[in-house]
Structure 1
Amino acid sequence: MLLVFVIALIGALLFSTLSFPIPWLIGPIFSVLVAQFFIKDRLRWPAVLRNTGLVIVGVAIGQQFDFSLFSDFKSLLFFMVIVNVLLFAFCLGIAWVIARSTGLTFKTAVAANVPGGLSQLVLFAEEEGDVHLTAVTYFHIVRVLGVVLLIPFLVSGHVVGGASIPLTWDVWQVGLVILLAAVAVPLGRKLKLPVAHFLTPIIVVIGLKFFGIEAPTMPSDVLHIAQILIGAYIGLLLKPETLRLPLNVLIGGMASMVAMIILTYGTSLLIARYLDLSFATSFLSTAPGGLDQMGLLAAAVKADISVVTVFQLFRLLFIFLCVLPIIKWVYREREESVQQ
């Protein structure tokens, strides 16, 4: 774990020196990913450290949530429905092509191409015994890495905007809010909130704001640490042995990621025009990444975090309340008809 932290810190400092966008997230991802090709079976990074980073980022995003977003919620809802229906129709088309060209089952191809959260879709693949878990994991990791590495350059991102705050009572207040959010996470998990370690802190802080309790700004150094904790975990997800999949599957994962980013680029231009949003906000709102990664990027590039969070949360709910249950139902009906 100490070795991973040192490698992640070196990557963050290197990318910061080179003035890369979001260096404290991208640097650790890149350095830890590369390190695995040279250091075998020694790198460990428990999920609890990633979850700690998610709680901190969730608190920071909750602090920036703007209630005025809901003044024109009908227009927002209309575009959220249209964009997600279009995206999932596109994903089904990609899944059909991937299944035909790689030999994977259509169910595996659908699970691999649905743009939900990485951990949630991998968990779905684990629960379904007839889904190729390694292929699904590879597709989603490639998409996460592609989105996290490419999007900052497309939206001209910079370092996360936190304030350089000395260790005063304000910082201790931030610590208390983080602690409160962390204590509430088990409740969020019990309620089966998607990405509970990230979404629960957002809800907690928004609730405090609703009752007139304003938490002070998150110090930039704390956000940098949180990004290292998350980046190291993402970097360890894609292991060298994962690349032993057949070449057509490896190429399919890359092609799927590129196709979805191109689609996102087109839809984001339309949303930016009709909802009068910045390109960064519309792009991150429709990007095929997870709620946590897109929220973190939104904070980093000064996008409208409220819009990005609502769009990405709607997609997660759409996936887990509509798409995945329909997939399970269709295949259950098919299995019953075959047995009869």
Structure 2
Amino acid sequence: MRIDSSSSDPVAESFGLGRLPAAVQWLLLVCLSAPLAAGFESIGLPAGLLMGPMLAGIVIGMNGGTIRLPGTFFFLVQVVLAMMIAGMVSPDLAGTFLSRWPLFLAIVLSVIAVSTLSGWVMTRMRILPGTTAIWGSSAGAASTMLLMAGAYGADVRLVAFMQYLRVVFVATLATLVARFAGQQAAGGEQTMFFAPVDLISVALTLAVGIGCGFAGRRLRVPAGAFLAPFAIGSTLSLTGTLHVELPQWLLALAFALLGWNIGLGFTRSILQHARRAVLPTIVSIVVLIGFSGVLAVMLVATLGIDPMTAYLATSPGGLDSIAVIAASSNVDLSFVMALQTARLVIITVAGPFIARFVADRA
């Protein structure tokens, strides 16, 4: 998930680490991220390479850090993660979606309904100014919601804060559930970050991913930088046309950059601006996560899939962080990605219209 936090007041953040040169801030971020990631990995925490940098980013941002992940780097992160997942999916991904599309549609629409209801309640109680809560409560389509929120006169900084906070809660809880449910991926041996790779396969993998990512963005595909490489990469991999291969050090770097992108979105000025909304926002997030948990229980009872697969499949975003956690756990990756992709596409297409409809009547 990418949210532009450039709307925050730069003057308000000229304290603490914000007074240091950007190069020094990046160095501090790296030095803090490395031990956190190593510690999480050592205790077997799924996606520790994501969670450590995310926590480090939050610490830097909350202490005045002004650095942000450039858009080009985030684009490359999405491409790398998409191709990683593309090389891991099983041949039954399309079949999983087509055979259960009514169920997937019902799950996604119910998540949209609950998130929209939470936003409407906060708006009616005047907890947040104007229609801010409606846009901030959306379980997806964050970038679109930010644009529409600004057009409706809502507080864009509060919308960004609500979206960021939901992603942190979902990613953190999903990681902890995977860890304590004993669902971390098998193979506890030490990762060989610089193991030999087929350079031609790596070059072809990146070429396909970057090309499809650019095409997805130009064609305005929802989350095109992720979904287009994922769709095309999966097809080429399953047909044997492309052998997807990526070096472990590149994947580790992509995980870290994704964590930084999320964590650095939290700044003290935004938190101070949103202090009145913190508790209601947390309550709405907990309600949404709890409702998603109920949906997961229903999937376990009706389809007999394992609980962790059901939980990750129904988690309300973001897609990239859930994909990393799923890839680090012993779950049915095809099922998780089928439902998460359906959620993202439907919320991107229908979510803004629903939010606008509610905002007009709130």
Normalising by the smaller structure, the TM-score range is 0.7 to 0.9
Alignment match, 1:22: 47
Alignment match, 1:145: 168
1:189 to 206, 217, 231: 217
Alignment match, 1:277: 305
| CA–CA separation in structure 2 for the residues paired with 1:246 and 1:177 | 42
Alignment match, 2:336: 308
Q: 317-326 or 158-167: which moved more?
A: 158-167
Q: 261-270 or 61-70: which moved more?
A: 61-70
Check whether the contact 2:130–2:154 (CA below 8 A) recurs between aligned residues. no
Residue 318 (structure 1) aligned with residue 346 (structure 2): yes
Pairing 1:234-313 to 2, within 5 Å after superposition: 234-245=262-273, 247-313=275-341
Pairing 1:1-340 to 2, within 5 Å after superposition: 2-3=26-27, 4-38=29-63, 40-71=64-95, 73=97, 75-104=99-128, 107-126=131-150, 128-156=151-179, 157-158=183-184, 164=192, 168=196, 170-245=198-273, 247-328=275-356
Check whether the contact 2:141–2:348 (CA below 8 A) recurs between aligned residues. no
Change (3 A) 1:70 1:53: closer
| CA–CA separation in structure 1 for the residues paired with 2:70 and 2:129 | 32
Paired AA for residue 295 in structure 1: A
CA-atom RMSD, angstroms?
2.7
Paired AA for residue 147 in structure 1: V
Q: 292-301 or 149-158: which moved more?
A: 149-158
Quote the offset at 1:118 in angstroms.
3.5
What SS does the corresponding residue of 2:153 show, helix, strand or coil?
coil
What SS does the corresponding residue of 1:237 show, helix, strand or coil?
coil
Change (3 A) 1:19 1:8: same
Q: Which has the higher helix share?
A: 1
Change (3 A) 1:158 1:123: farther
Q: Identity over aligned residues, as a percent? A: 23
Quote the offset at 1:249 in angstroms.
0.9
Quote the offset at 1:89 in angstroms.
2.1
What SS does the corresponding residue of 1:65 show, helix, strand or coil?
coil
Change (3 A) 1:306 1:106: farther
| CA–CA separation in structure 2 for the residues paired with 1:164 and 1:117 | 36
Check whether the contact 1:164–1:219 (CA below 8 A) recurs between aligned residues. no
The TM-score, its normalising length taken from structure 1, stands at 0.87
Paired AA for residue 135 in structure 1: L
Check whether the contact 1:102–1:249 (CA below 8 A) recurs between aligned residues. no
Deviation digits for residues 162-193 of structure 1 (CA, Å, limit 9, x no counterpart): 97486545244123212321122221012212
Check whether the contact 1:102–1:248 (CA below 8 A) recurs between aligned residues. no
Task: State how many pairs are aligned.
Answer: 332
Change (3 A) 1:80 1:133: same
| CA–CA separation in structure 2 for the residues paired with 1:6 and 1:58 | 27
Change (3 A) 1:124 1:310: farther
Paired AA for residue 231 in structure 2: I
Deviation digits for residues 254-299 of structure 1 (CA, Å, limit 9, x no counterpart): 1111111111111101112222322121111111112212212111
Paired AA for residue 235 in structure 2: G
Paired AA for residue 151 in structure 1: A
Q: 14-23 or 295-304: which moved more?
A: 14-23
Quote the offset at 1:253 in angstroms.
1.2
| CA–CA separation in structure 2 for the residues paired with 1:48 and 1:193 | 18
Q: Structure 2: which 5+ residue stretches go unaligned?
A: 1-22
Q: Structure 1: which 5+ residue stretches go unaligned?
A: 336-340
| CA–CA separation in structure 2 for the residues paired with 1:239 and 1:93 | 28
